[in-house]
Structure 1
């Protein structure tokens, strides 16, 4: 059995106190972080070492983006893909060597895509669609049991957002983004673990804007964070939990952590 968590932490150094709280309370074997906003030498290695996460793969850059996978079980860095095609640190892949041996775990931070859902007037939106297309071409050649987790920055289903009609023209829920994400899913036959375990249209959000003074009362959430798996891995999933309580912690991220347990 191996438990894997994903969390867009929105600056790992700033939010190390709530990371420590989360891993102390829930103790995932592996934690995949996105938007760490630091270079590898600035990453809080010592803090994670003390928490028992003695195996780490960090792909960071100065001030922005960045991903890190920290683990209690042995792993080795497996890959770094530049799906953004501009050198940004948005992916790191590892191979598990202990519990879950042989499984590949991909940690990705898909670009947000700016504000205007039109690549002609918003280059960031075009970069997001191109990122997804490169991911799809990569996924077409996967030949090992794999999980891909992280901040996909797309809420694909109607029930993945607080108001489907209101958000159809809002970046993260537009039809063109949903279609691009579907092409990526089809390229490998991924299973969307979240929606297999918490079936639509049951409420399921992982992100709430900082703009809302009271995120709970407002509850304008979106499911932007995902955990997908190869079919042979998805069949072994035993639990999947969303930890909304973390959105209420001191100096929270705007995302909350998700955990999947797999009987490998």
Structure 2
């Protein structure tokens, strides 16, 4: 039996917040860490520093100023070169690998779904249209491939699907990230791959659960107006091996914190 810890974090600039990765490693000791919004072109990615932090195997796709994904691993892997270029934009929002593990490879996908802007109307807001198109393409891709097997999907999916994934279901129904059309789209994607929500596996749907708190809040902790935008899904054949989870809420108070906090699950393979 192999215990595997996989964490995900929208780091909101890997170069600015690279020192905080030491705090994350001390708190969660992940075997694999998936990052989003690295905001770093590949030629400037701090590869050697991250290897020195305990991750000898690293893949990254980035661009200047925004987007970008990376996978840092203690476990050898092979990058999946055949995965789609979503919406034909080449905007560094997905990275897939096959982890080299006992019992066979494990497929791991790191996604950064478009945020979608402020207006939840695809006719007047191209950013929202892009978000819906992105999720629709990913859903069709999962449908074509069939139910996921020995696979994990993580990332900042920028949608809080459940009533208690947001601080106020009623007040956020017309706010981007919790609108009915987005929730339906994310649910369809999850069903297309027969994915199991690994964090809600541990936290009942009727309990509040957040991974993001806005920078706009004067006192984010006191107001606690959060949303669960960061997700870990596992294939059904891995669900029985889920052992524990962590949402590292203290990270929101780290110096120069990201507005997202790290999320981790541990599973036995």
Q: TM-score range by the shorter chain?
A: over 0.9
- Give secondary structure in 1 for the equivalent of 2:201: helix
Alpha-carbon separation, structure 2, partners of 1:21 and 1:43: 19
Contact 1:237 1:261 in 2 (8 A): yes
Q: 1:47-126 alignment to 2 at 5 Å?
A: 47-79=49-81, 80-98=83-101, 101-126=104-129
TM-score by length of 1: 0.97
Pick aligned residue for 2:217 from 212, 215, 218: 212
Q: Deviation at 1:169?
A: 0.2
Tell me which residue corresponds to 2:154. 149
Q: Which residue of 1 aligns with 2:253?
A: 248
1:4 is aligned, of 2, 6, 23, to 6
Range 3-12 or range 43-52, more displaced:
43-52
Consecutive unaligned residues of structure 2, counting only runs of 5 or more, are none
Q: Is the 8 A contact 1:57 1:76 kept in 2?
A: no
Aligned to 2:49, the other structure's residue is in SS state helix
- Aligned partners of 1:41, 1:136: CA distance in 2, in Å? 32
| Contact 2:51–2:58 under 8 Å retained in 1 | no
The alignment partner of 1:130 has SS state of: helix
Deviation sequence 1:204-262 (CA, Å, 0-9, x none): 10000000121100100000000011100122111111000000010000000001111
**Rounded Cα–Cα distance in structure 1 between residues aligned with 2:204 and 2:210:** 12
Q: How many residues align?
A: 264
Q: Which runs of 5+ in 1 are unaligned?
A: none
- Structure 1 residue 262 and structure 2 residue 264: aligned? no
Residues 6 and 32, structure 1, Cα contact 8 Å, conserved in 2 = yes
Query: Larger deviation: 251-260 or 73-82?
Result: 73-82
Shift of 1:57: 1.0
